[in-house]
Structure 1
Amino acid sequence: MQKTKINSTLIGILGLTMVTRLDSVMAPSIVKIQQTFPQADVTQVESIASIGDVASMIASFIFGFILTKITYKHAALIGLSLLAAGGLLPIFIHQSIAQLLFFALIVGLGSGVITTVLPSLSAATYQGERRSKQFGWNVALEDGFAMVWIVLGGFLANISWQDNYYIYGITLVAWILALFFVPNLHPKDTATTTTSEAQPTKNRWGLIISLLLIAMIVEMLVAVLSNKMAIYLHTYHIGGPSTAGQALVFVRAASIVTGVFISFFRRTLHNYLLAGGFGSILIGASLFIKIHTFVASAIGAFLIGTGGAIILITVPFLLSNLTAATTYPIVMGSFSALTSLGFAFSAWFFKYVTAWFTTNNLSGTFILTALISGMIMMLLIVTNLQKRATLPNEKIEEV
């Protein structure tokens, strides 16, 4: 792409990062929705904030195939239209929980489309180290915007839970940006901008599958914090729900910092970047096991968040080295679907596996997190997987 086209595409990418995490902004309103519909099943009400994850997982996988048939612009506009419809219609139509659940599903479908388009468009626009940096900036911006939307959503929820839905008005801004700045190109038109012909085809799909599984596992490990932080702080008399919220902010902050400084991490760790990410999770989980204070919890959350961000930025970059532009949307659709599955499956996995070696699910969860992280870290070092997934001519340098 020419430089002017790349610069305009960057505006389109920015518009997409604004809305990728909108599927969780209704969480602050769950209690008020339950009060409005006291006869409704509590689980159904809580599902308003989580059912979108299921829809997003399905949409990511399916749309990975659809994106190979349409342009980036058309795909982005479809996803943003779904987000806008699912998020704004409840302002006017909210007579039952069933309606709100339906709209939450629509939001999830839109979110799944966007999380498939965004990395594919980024990979098609940039090459080499600049591509890696863009993946980092995407994650940093996604989490940065997510923090803003959740805070604003909480403020609006204090007025009325219906007002919380006004946050989705940002999708209209993103839609306009996508209309003008997302290129009307098919993935096949950018085929020369992705994987190098020098990359050997031998065992390429083995590497791709391995990287996808790594992404799913790391999302499962990071989800431990969302599932266990409040329980952990309460069990060790460190704090209540508000304290848990403060501690979880460090996970978002870690993603932002890591996204901005991903080039530094790459230059420092080189082909051991993925191993370093699991090492960071190992140290963070160990702090939760050994030291029961808020400071240790915050540092542990930051380290786990840093490790997770390193891996979730690096894996899509490595996949872009291994995958042709025409099939990259399918691979990234699988990536989005599997990471969503890892997050959703996390609580059940740790519930049943920790029961094999301890009756204390809380401490067992962090012990198992540390063990899994240590095992995968050693496996990555021994197999040298990251080096085998890196282009032979790729240079790690500041661009």
Structure 2
Amino acid sequence: MQKVSNRLTKFSILLVSVITASAPAINANIPALARAFPTIPLSQVELLTTIPSFFLMLSILFSGWVAQKIGLKQTVMLGVTITAVAGLTPVFTNSFGLILISRAAFGLGVGLFNSLLVTIISSFYGGQERSKLIGFQSIFEGLGGVLVTFIAGQLMNLGWHASFWAYLITIPALVFFMLFVPKIPTVKNNVETEKDLPKVPLFNGRLISLLILTFIVVSLYMIMGIKVPTLMVNSGYGTTTSASYVILALSLGSMTGGAIFGKLYDLVKNYVIVFGFGSLAIAMALIALSNTTVLTILGGFLTGLGFRLYIPWALNIVNMGGKGNPWATSFILMSYNLAGSLAPYTALLLQSVFKIKQLRSIFWMNTIAYLIIAVMVVLLLVGFKRFHRRTLDEV
């Protein structure tokens, strides 16, 4: 471990973390972008907000390989550079195709460095200092989502092009990291040989179930994010700027959910997920009923809160017992990003299957879906404890 005490080094690493949750910052742009590109189907316009997730998922798969080839610091700098160029490209172009490519590249860039930040922290710091900095890294990630969303929302008053200036934060992040983070020696992975891997099946019933559940939960969650701005504008009680406050509340709710998960889990154990799905169901119902920005903002906050109770619960389940599948976390995150990237088309499919013509009906569908999932989870936890314990022992 390379010892580094410079406060600027810590700040530079944390500043890069600000970028990792900034992709949804322009979700409130959807109505304005739909007007700017009237010949483009709405589902393709909505894809601008979700396609980063797909390419983020892809780049996570080879970010470690790139780091082994060119070094950790260089990989982060490459990723932030790609993110900076891609994030700011829509400011200067009216080509929908180029904007779509830039959004894909944005996800690609973020995926190159976001999975390496903890590794970098661990390269420089140990013990309580490392744990503390990892905690700050999570906080900066959440604050980054809030900050960039807020700035993008304010700039939206100047037009949809201007809102992308919010990604200017990538420039100082790149400069600080380049100047104040020392070169990090390339180290080999701790797990090198097949004999070092835990002898567990790559997939089991519990992991497959959680992958499916994660895909469903994230799909419904992302549908909320991409449909709320259009609902507010079409219903006449909000603008693209006020819709950005809902996305902001979503980020604040996510931060709150992440902050309380540990303590809530200590109190109620796996029943924490019932609170998560309950919060999501209430949020969807509030948005479906809402005719005011304030009520929709509350729905956004509860959505973020409930969702951030689900994700750590799912990751905890697949890693329970300390002998879990080493690939489980990666598969859960891949399911997360795949669902996010496909959300516009998932919404179209659900609208077609259930003959949904009104936007509010989508949120009623989400409400019912989350309630059904909550009931199923309660039945699993209460009525099938013996089966639950047996499946846990498989991993």
Deviation for aligned residue 1:343: 3.8
1:173 alignment counterpart:
172
Pairwise CA distance, 1:57: 0.7
Counterpart residue number, 1:70: 67
Alignment check: 8 A CA contact 2:76 2:113 kept:
yes
Does the Cα contact within 8 Å between 1:274 and 1:310 map onto a contact in 2? yes
Q: Which residue of 2 aligns with 1:363?
A: 364
- The verdict on how the C-alpha distance between 1:55 and 1:228 changes in structure 2, with shifts beyond 3 A counting, is closer
Name the aligned partner's letter for residue 334 of structure 1: M
Confirm or deny that 1:154 pairs with 2:158: no
Deviation at 1:188, TM superposition (A): 4.4
The residue number in structure 1 matching 2:17 is: 17
Mapping for residues 20-169 of structure 1, pairs under 5 Å: 20-26=20-26, 41-43=38-40, 47=44, 50-51=47-48, 53-68=50-65, 70-71=67-68, 72-89=72-89, 94=93, 96-118=95-117, 140-159=139-158, 161-169=160-168
Amino acid paired to 1:100: I
Q: Which amino acid aligns with 1:388?
A: L
Is the 8 Å Cα contact of residues 18 and 141 (structure 2) preserved in structure 1? yes
Q: What residue is the counterpart of 1:397 in the other structure?
A: none
**Residue 376 of structure 1: how far off its partner (Å):** 3.7
Q: Alignment identity in percent?
A: 20
**TM-score (ref. length: structure 2):** 0.70
Aligned to 1:378: 379
In 1, Cα distance between equivalents of 2:390 and 2:127: 15
2:54, 2:189 → 1: CA distance?
27
Contact 2:31 / 2:229 at 8 angstroms: preserved in 1? no
How far is 1:200 from its partner? 7.0
Shift of 1:130: 11
Q: CA deviation at 1:309?
A: 0.7
User: Is the contact between residue 43 and residue 344 of structure 2 (CA under 8 Å) also seen in structure 1?
Assistant: no
Quote the offset at 1:83 in angstroms.
0.6
2:55/2:105 contact within 8 Å kept: no
Do the aligned residues in 2 keep the contact of 1:116 with 1:336 (CA within 8 Å)? no
Provide, for residues 350-386 of structure 1, a one-character-per-residue CA deviation record: whole Å limited to 9, x for no partner.
4245449x99555334223321333245335645479
Segments of structure 2 that go 5 or more residues without pairing to the other structure are none
The verdict on how the C-alpha distance between 1:137 and 1:46 changes in structure 2, with shifts beyond 3 A counting, is: farther
Corresponding position of 1:340: 340
Question: Where does structure 1 lack aligned partners over 5 or more consecutive residues?
Answer: 392-399
- After superposition, give the CA deviation of every residue in 1:148-195 in whole Å (9 maximum; x if it has no partner): 212222333434655444332221222245445488366844559xxx
Does the 8 Å CA contact 1:318/1:389 hold for their aligned counterparts? Answer: no
Q: CA deviation at 1:20?
A: 1.8
Q: Residues 69, 316 of structure 1: CA spacing in aligned structure 2 closer, same or farther, 3 A cutoff?
A: farther
TM-superposed CA distance for 1:110, in Å, is 1.6
Pairs aligned (count): 377
Counterpart Cα distance in 1 of 2:123 and 2:381: 28
- CA distance in 2 between counterparts of 1:130 and 1:386 reads 38
Distance 1:312-1:153 versus aligned 2 partners, 3 A rule? same
Q: What is the identity, as a one-letter code, of the residue corresponding to 1:364?
A: M
**2: distance between equivalents of 1:332 and 1:73?**
27
Report the Cα distance in structure 2 between the residues aligned to 1:252 and 1:143, rounded to whole angstroms. Answer: 7
Asked whether the 8 Å contact 1:153–1:164 carries over to 2, the reply is yes
Q: Residue 205 of structure 1 aligns to a residue in which SS? A: coil
Q: CA deviation at 1:317?
A: 5.4
Correspondence list, 1:259-274, <5 A: 259-274=258-273
Q: Do 1:82 and 1:110's aligned partners in 2 also have CA atoms closer than 8 Å? A: yes
Q: Deviations over 1:251-310 (max 9, x none)?
A: 222112122333322322334434442343345446667x76757655554333212011
Q: 1:107-150 deviations in whole A, cap 9, x for unaligned?
A: 23223434544577689999999999988765654343223212
TM-score by length of 1: 0.69
Cα deviations by residue, 1:309-332 (Å, 9 ceiling, x for unpaired): 1122344455565354xx588547
**Paired residues of 1:59 and 1:109 also in contact (CA < 8 A):** yes
Q: Distance in 2 between matches of 1:130 and 1:267?
A: 24
Question: d(CA) in 1 for partners of 2:57 and 2:130?
Answer: 21
- Cα distance in 1, alignment partners of residues 393 and 3 from structure 2: 28
CA distance in 2 between counterparts of 1:365 and 1:190 reads: 42
Change (3 A) 1:125 1:385: farther
SS at match of 1:43: coil
Distance 1:386 1:343, change over 3 A: farther
Q: In the alignment, is the contact (CA less than 8 A) between 2:86 and 2:103 conserved in 1?
A: yes
> 1: distance between equivalents of 2:286 and 2:223?
14
CA RMSD of aligned residues (A): 5.0
Hey, what's the Cα distance between the residues in 2 that align with 1:205 and 1:6?
43
8 A contact 1:132–1:314 mirrored in 2: no
For the Cα contact (< 8 Å) 1:156–1:163, is it kept in 2? yes
1:133-282 mapped onto 2 (5 Å cutoff): 140-159=139-158, 161-179=160-178, 180-181=180-181, 184=184, 188-191=188-191, 201-202=199-200, 205-206=203-204, 207-229=206-228, 239-241=237-239, 246-282=245-281
- Cα gap change, 1:154/1:227 in structure 2, threshold over 3 Å: closer, same or farther? closer
